[in-house]
Amino acid sequence: MVVSKFKAAVNSDEGVPPPQEGVEFAKLPWNLNLPDQHYYVHLTTDPESGWTLEHYDPKTDGGILTDVTDVTSPTFPSTTSLNYGTTIWEGLACRRSPTTGKALLFRPQMNYARFARGAHAMCLPPPSYELFMRGLQMVLQNNMHMCPPAPELDPDTGVPLGGAKLYVRPMLLGSGQQLGLHASPQISLVFFVSPTGSYFQGKAMGGLKLHLETRKSRAARGGTGNIKCSGNYAVTMRPLMDAKEHGFHDNLYLELDTYHNPNHPRLCRPFVRLFCRSSVLQIFSLCLKAEKL
């Protein structure tokens, strides 16, 4: 079934809707903003069935995903993800192109790859690539009024200015009721959004003040540090609050075995390094090709 708070899908032939009037997007904090004005997607299945063509058929572009309803989603104390942390999610930034005004997402295929790995680790059936991408498209089409205006370009560098964006969060979680420790009898696939400002708004330009955490570890060998699951963030909350009380912006964690080698800040996971490495290799490859021309 699909659970959604949705309006009619935006017709792509009509162009991208403009930003909603009366919203000062540039001043929004990095948080959930204007939630009563968002529309979201919510699909459910069970572990045995998984995600099928009934949920979404890429050949016909049909299925439950595109059949919009207004059914609400109940939450029970016995929900599996609330008790055992079986939740994974991704975070993507949607921005308007400064030149065309179209909606842009940065490498969602890489988010899907990690999403699928995380689903396996949490005993959750992963959605197909097509279902994941169409879910992103659906939630964006119905929330572009919440996407900030296209950023201005730096006249000297051509780099977009400002950090305002429409944050997109796909989630996969055990939404069934149970008490025992086993795979959830019901699985939910959710897509929701929020317009946000920069995470380190007003701080990144002047540099970040990082605290070197030497007592607690963010990720352990053999653990779930390579999975974007909810529990990975819970363990960072107390160290982060302690660091902020002493005037720091974030923590830099050390490798657990020796507590000598830097691991990564709370927000800079190996996934970010993978993005950067991939980008550097692609740019290097393009430069080599350009030299041969």
Across the chain, mean pLDDT equals 82
Q: What average pLDDT score do residues 114-126 get?
A: 95
The verdict on residue 2 lying in a domain is no
- Here the CATH number for the domain that contains residue 268 is 3.20.10.10
Residues 252 and 107 in one domain: no
The verdict on residue 170 lying in a domain is yes
Residue 43: both structure tokens together: 């699909």
Q: What average pLDDT score do residues 94-108 get?
A: 90
Final residue of a domain: which of 167, 196, 225? 196
Residues 247 and 216 in one domain: yes
pTM reported for the whole predicted model: 0.83
pLDDT of residue 222: 81
The verdict on residue 203 lying in a domain is no
The verdict on residue 141 lying in a domain is yes
Residues 6+ apart with CB under 8 A from 71: 1, 2, 3, 4
Residues 109 and 135 in one domain: yes
Residues 125 and 226 in one domain: no
Is 144 strand, coil or helix? helix
The long-range contacts involving 29-37, CB below 8 angstroms and separated by at least 24 positions, are 29/196, 29/197, 29/201, 30/196, 30/197, 30/198, 30/199, 30/201, 31/194, 31/196, 32/194, 33/194, 33/195, 33/196, 34/146, 34/194, 34/195, 35/194, 37/145, 37/146
Concerning whether 228 is annotated as a catalytic residue, the answer is yes
pLDDT of residue 16: 84
Amino acid code (one letter) for 65: L
Domain range holding 225?
208-292
Min mean pLDDT across 62-76, 108-122, 156-170 is at: 62-76
- For 56-117, give the DSSP string: -BTTTTBSGGGS---------TTBHHHHH--EEE--EEEEE-TTT--EEES-HHHHHHHHHH
The 10s digit of each residue's pLDDT in 248-286 is 989 988 776 665 555 555 544 444 444 555 666 676 676
Residues 66 and 141 in one domain: yes
Tally of domains within the chain: 2
Burial-class residue 131 by CB neighbours within 10 Å (0-12, 13-18, 19+): buried
The verdict on residue 89 lying in a domain is yes
Residues 165 and 245 in one domain: no
pLDDT of residue 1: 41
Q: What average pLDDT score do residues 17-39 get?
A: 90
| Catalytic-labelled residue, pool 5, 165, 216, 228 | 228
- Here the CATH number for the domain that contains residue 177 is 3.30.470.10
Final residue of a domain: which of 170, 196, 222? 196
Between 200 and 99, residue with greater pLDDT: 99
Residues 36 and 170 in one domain: yes
The verdict on residue 5 lying in a domain is no
Residue 4's pLDDT band (cuts 50, 70, 90): very low
pLDDT of residue 96: 92
The verdict on residue 231 lying in a domain is yes
Closest of 90, 84, 87 to residue 112, by C-alpha: 90
